[in-house]
Amino acid sequence: MRKNFRVIKELVRLRFQNLMMFRLGFFGPFFVDGSLFLVQLLVFDAVYANVDEIGGWQRGEMILYIGTFSLLNAVNMVVYFFGVGGIPDKIKSGEMDLYLTKPVSPLLRLSLESINPGSLPLVVMSLIIIAYGAGSAGVRWNPKLFAGYLFWVLLMLVLYYDLEVLIRSLSFFVVSTAKMQKLEEACISLSMQLPGTVYYGIYKLIFCFLLPYGIMATLPVKYLAGECTLPAALYGIGITVLFSALTALVWKTGIRHYNSVSS
């Protein structure tokens, strides 16, 4: 554990030095995400100009919802997105060889070697939206509420990470995951438009179980609004455990399956 920590520290340091070499690379991701963020807010505003209540949620909860989703997305961008995003390429180019021959977990190294401080402003912006949403929804913060919310956000970050890795690990088995990544992207931007409370039937099956993007921001907000029932909480924890196990399995099988195509 301590050794892993030291490796991570070194990876982060190298990453910073590397980023400093390219000025644009440092803040580029911020503009990428910033533009996406802006588009999402605009769309959200345009759609919800027509309704004032959706799936039992008022405007305040909806703002909390989009703020929380942005926060998940922003933290993902800062910490592991670029590392995990590079996995398919590393598999395709055979560069994975170099990771497999080192006595450090390849996934750990891949996940944390490309942290991206350029997206930190987005985390701040998301926090502002959450604060604003909490204000209009009449949330009274106290240590317990805050700790609970934090717990849900962290748990959902794990789920987010699992899905991200899972989709990219498929590169071990199929030639191209480009389209799957597009699907993931679409799921994320769509889930940002609709809270998980409105899903029913087949939608519930898809967005709360198969591709559980629908519950990611929903559960933390439900908790804040005092609507988080015990079954919902257990479900959230259960599905995170399930997906973590599945991801670990696919990754492990993938490495065994790895054929190291090029020479």
Partner 1 sequence: MRKYAEIAKAYLKTQLVWRADIIFNMIFTVGRILFAYLLWGTIFEGREQVAGFTFHGMLSYYIINSFLTQLEMSSGISGELSARIRNGTFSKYLVIPVNVEGYFTAMEVGTVVFYLFFDFLAAVVWIFLFGIEFVFVKTFSIILCAGIMILLGLFFMVQLNFFLGILTFQYEEISTFLMIKDNLLALVTGSIIPLTLLPERVVELMRLLPFYYVTYLPSMLLTGNNRQEAVPGIVIMAVWCIVMQLVIHFYWNKYIRKYDGVGI
Partner 2 sequence: MNNQIMNEMIIETKNLTKVYRRFVKKEGLRGSIEGLFKREYEQKEAVSGIDFNVREGEFIGLIGPNGAGKTTLIKMLTGIIAPTSGEISVMGYYPNNMKRGFKMQYAVVMGQKSQLFMELTVNDTLRLFKEIYEIPQEEYIRTRAFFTELFDVKELMEVQVRTLSLGERMKMEIIVALLHNPRVLFLDEPTIGLDAIAANQIRRFLKEVNQKKKTTIVLTSHYMEDIRTLCGRTVVINHGKKIYDGGTEEMFARYHDVERIYKEAEQDA
Residues at the site binding partner 1, with contacts judged by CB under 8 A: 22, 24-25, 28-29, 31-32, 35-36, 39, 42-43, 46-47, 49-51, 54-55, 174-180, 182-183, 186-187, 189-190, 193-194, 198-199, 203
Distance CA 71, CA 78 (A): 11
Greatest alpha-carbon pair distance for the chain in Å reads: 61
9 binds, among partner 2, partner 1, none (CB under 5 to 8 A by kind): partner 2
Q: What angle do CA 72, 215, 120 make, to 5 degrees?
A: 5
260 binds, among partner 1, partner 2, none (CB under 5 to 8 A by kind): partner 2
Among 97, 182, 186, 253, binds partner 2 (CB under 8 A): 97
Q: Considering only residues 10 through 69, tell me which ones interact with partner 2, judged by CB under 8 A.
A: 10-11, 13-14, 17-18, 21-22
- Asked if 253 is part of the footprint of partner 2 (rule: CB under 8 A), the reply reads no
Distance CA 104, CA 198 (A): 43
First to last CA, the chain: 34
Distance CA 48, CA 31 (A): 25
Distance CA 130, CA 112 (A): 27
Q: Which of 10, 11, 3 is nearest to 103 (CA)?
A: 3
Q: Check if the beta carbon of residue 87 is closer than 8 Å to that of residue 110.
A: yes
What amino acid occupies position 198? Answer: V
**Closest separation between CB of residue 163 and partner 1, Å?**
15
7 binds, among partner 1, partner 2, none (CB under 5 to 8 A by kind): partner 2
- Asked if 7 is part of the footprint of partner 2 (rule: CB under 8 A), the reply reads yes
**Closest separation between CB of residue 206 and partner 2, Å?**
27
**Closest separation between CB of residue 239 and partner 1, Å?**
20
Q: Which of 83, 69, 81 is nearest to 113 (CA)?
A: 83
Question: What DSSP designation does 228 have?
Answer: -
**Closest separation between CB of residue 7 and partner 2, Å?**
5
Q: Which of 148, 135, 160 is nearest to 217 (CA)?
A: 160
132 binds, among partner 2, partner 1, none (CB under 5 to 8 A by kind): none
142 binds, among partner 2, partner 1, none (CB under 5 to 8 A by kind): none
What tokens does 58 get?
């008022």
Torsion sign, CA atoms 18, 23, 28, 34? positive
210 binds, among partner 1, partner 2, none (CB under 5 to 8 A by kind): none
- Asked if 6 is part of the footprint of partner 2 (rule: CB under 8 A), the reply reads yes
Distance CA 28, CA 243 (A): 32
- Asked if 101 is part of the footprint of partner 2 (rule: CB under 8 A), the reply reads yes
**Closest separation between CB of residue 104 and partner 1, Å?**
28
Question: Which residues would be at the binding site for partner 2 (CB under 8 A)?
Answer: 3, 6-7, 9-11, 13-14, 17-18, 21-22, 94-98, 100-104, 255-256, 258-260, 262-263
